[in-house]
Amino acid sequence: MRLQAVDRPRSRSRALQKRTESLSDVGEFGLIDRIRKRATSGRRGAVRIGIGDDAAVVRPGALSELLATTDLLLEGIHFDLSYTDFYSLGWKSAAVNLSDIAAMGGEPRFCLTALGISSGVKPEQVLDFYRGVNDLLGMHHAELIGGDTCASRTDLFISVTVIGEVKRGRAVLRSGARPGDLIFVTGTLGDAAAGLELLSRGVRQTSKGRQIPQRKPSRHEAYLLKRHLRPEPRVSEGMALSRSGCASSMIDISDGLSSDLLHICKQSGVGAEVREGAIPLSPALIRMQEHLTRPGLTHALSGGEDYELLFTVPPSRLVKLRSLALPVTQIGMVRKGRSLVLIGQDEKKRTCGPCGFDHFSRVSAAERA
């Protein structure tokens, strides 16, 4: 696509222009060429034509179904360039999509990235972004096969699409939960939301991010920051669950446990009961919670961006699940009805609505403020 003409600031000094290349020095096609040279190669032979033609040509496996997912990441909504470095931003942009493929039980294969690049961004920052994208894709044998590049008059705008594969009939849907199924999550919850709270209070990562922290974060803080900035999608766990046929339904936790579990409930026509005391919290979150504005459990229930998997398992498949030796915790049980009931440490029950992230409610709240 043609690069839209954007008014470039003319007042920049020559010295500055000499020191760092600008996007107008490199140009749209120069930038795409650098992105192409850095693209990872996935499993050999699957990509006939990658970056460089009008469209990529890929070969899906003969016995598979394709999964397709896309996510938008907007500056000021999903990320803040004062919080994140470009490497982490690239990593996370790919991770949120890989997590959606994982939640279907699929294997990520191909990735497309569309960027609206704001005028202050430097070519090396774009290439750092792609280092992050490619490092994560490479870990999962997926490949960058195309995208689009435009100048943005306002903020940085990122759209990532991932195509995955799953064996025919093996995709794990949100709609398969049945009363009596057990509810599990991978890993720990609430870390990413706690990390975001730390970032919003000025705690910064050190090292590669090239950011100068006001003070070095503690070990626990650094862990929580990393969980927010560079989430690790549960691709191998999702694939193991689909291949083994253990999971009756699955979703990834992007909006918070309560909201995402309610998505499963709605689409499966069931209710759920969750034991608060069973929700897994990381040692870092437990240690840090007295310094946070909200308890760890609240971050776990409503924080979001954990990119862990939430899934249900019929009791008859429990032994099989255990044999997979995945890092999972049982947190509750699927019930008849429609509601999500939380059982407190004191055995008291309360009904919980969706309290996770909702783009439009936040926008309207901000507008009201």
Q: Is 147 in the site for ligand ADP (CB under 6 A)?
A: yes
In eight-state DSSP terms, residue 3 is P
Q: Report the alpha-carbon distance of residue 127 to residue 157 in Å, rounded.
A: 15
Binds Mg ion by CB under 5 A, chosen from 1, 55, 319, 369:
1
φ and ψ at residue 243, rounded to 5 degrees: -65, -40
Q: Report the alpha-carbon distance of residue 162 to residue 169 in Å, rounded.
A: 20
Q: Which residues lie below 8 Å from residue 363, measured CB to CB, with a gap of 6+?
A: none
x/- binding map, residues 53-72, to ligand ADP, per CB under 6 A?
xx------------------
Site for Mg ion in 107-166 (CB under 5 A): 148
Q: Report the alpha-carbon distance of residue 142 to residue 256 in Å, rounded.
A: 27
Q: Which does 195 bind (CB under 5 to 8 A by kind): Mg ion, ligand ADP, none?
A: none
Binds ligand ADP by CB under 6 A, chosen from 35, 96, 163, 292:
35
x/- binding map, residues 303-342, to Mg ion, per CB under 5 A?
----------------------------------------
Binds ligand ADP by CB under 6 A, chosen from 97, 125, 134, 149:
149
- Residue 113 or 205: the one with the smaller Cβ distance to ligand ADP is 113
Please choose, out of 45-53, 164-172, 283-291, 349-357, the segment that lies near ligand ADP by the rule CB under 6 A.
45-53
Binds ligand ADP by CB under 6 A, chosen from 23, 46, 47, 51:
51
Nearest CA-CA partner of 276 in 344, 191, 361: 344
Cβ neighbours of 171 (radius 10 Å): 17
The answer to whether the CB of 246 falls within 8 A of the CB of 328 is no
Residue 11 DSSP SS3: coil
Q: Is 146 in the site for ligand ADP (CB under 6 A)?
A: yes
Please choose, out of 48-56, 249-257, 270-278, 329-337, the segment that lies near ligand ADP by the rule CB under 6 A.
48-56
Closest separation in Å from C-beta 150 to Mg ion: 9
Q: Report the alpha-carbon distance of residue 225 to residue 227 in Å, rounded.
A: 5
- Residue 47 or 225: the one with the smaller Cβ distance to ligand ADP is 47
Beta strands in 168-270 (DSSP E): 182-186, 249-252
Tokens of 279: 């929700």
Tokens of 114: 């569309």
- Residue 85 or 143: the one with the smaller Cβ distance to ligand ADP is 143
CA atoms within 13 A on the CB side of 45: 2
Q: Which does 163 bind (CB under 5 to 8 A by kind): Mg ion, ligand ADP, none?
A: none
Please choose, out of 3-11, 139-147, 153-161, 314-322, the segment that lies near ligand ADP by the rule CB under 6 A.
139-147
The answer to whether the CB of 329 falls within 8 A of the CB of 272 is no
The residue ranges that bind Mg ion (CB under 5 A) are 1, 148
The residue ranges that bind ligand ADP (CB under 6 A) are 1, 32, 35, 51-54, 113, 115, 144, 146-149
